[in-house]
Structures are given as structure tokens and as C-alpha cells.
Amino acid sequence: MSIEKALIDAVMKVYQSKGVGKFFSINFLEETDGEFVFEVCFPPDCLNPQGNVQGGMITSVLDDCTALCVLFSTKGKRFPNTTDFHTTFHRPLSLEPATIKASILKIGRNIVSVEGKIFKEKNKLVASCLHTGFLFDTHGMKK
């Protein structure tokens, strides 16, 4: 799948300018064969009392990256309204750059299922998710 750089740049510019997109500093790296790769550096405010990134923060980043995967895959026309989101945690994540990989498992007329994974150094799996959402058109979304 070839995604136009102009579309990705425009979406990421809006996404990174406010809300959680600004807070997390998520960057799009590449897309290969329908797999979208992002990078995130969690801010220190995301740490739990043990000094690792809090699980809800990890889930939030997975939510955003899997949603961006859908937006890019539909050329900016559709976005998922989450109906179910399941996260499994495999190991802790300290404050270090992390890589997120997201890919669509199935997209229909109204429902999409997306898989997301976040990795720490040496490609060690931190958490994985299954994101299911009802698709809605982006026409009329606030920018």
C-alpha cells in the first residue's frame, strides 16, 4: 500500500499540535506492506510509582497509533470510533524510545479490527493490543 507523504504529513501536523498527540510526541516512521511504524518517547509524567511507564499511557499510545493506521489506510477518509480495546502487557517499559507497529487485520464497511504492538530496545515486546472500532467518515471533523 502506498500512502501519500503529503497526507501523512498533514495528518501528523494536526495530530501533534494538540491533546495527547502533543503530549506523547508520536512520530510516524514508515509503512511497509500495510504495517505502520511509529516512534514514541514517553515524557517523565507517564511514570508509575515503580519508575516504569504506566500501563494506561502505553494503552493510550497504542490506541492512537492503531487509529492513525486506519486513517492512513483509508487515505484520510475514515476513522475508528472504538467499540472494544484489549491490551496485554508482556514486560515493563522504562523511559526510552519505543517503537509501535500497527496493521489492519480486517476492514469492512462499518467495522475495523487493528493489531498494535509496542517494542522497547532490541525489539522486545512490551504490550500488544486488539482495537475494534466502528468506522465513521472524517468529513466535518474539527481540525
State which residues of the chain have pLDDT below 50.
Answer: none
What pLDDT does 70 receive?
97
Could you tell me how many residues make up the chain?
143
Q: What is the pLDDT at residue 138?
A: 86
pTM value surpassing 0.85: yes
Supply the CATH classification number for the domain 5-137: 3.10.129.10
Measured between alpha carbons, how far is 93 from 113 in angstroms, rounded to an integer? 25
Rounded to whole angstroms, the Cα distance separating 137 from 40 reads 27
Helix ranges (H only) for 1-143 are 5-16, 19-24, 55-73
Query: Which ranges of 74-119 does DSSP label H, i.e. alpha helix?
Result: none
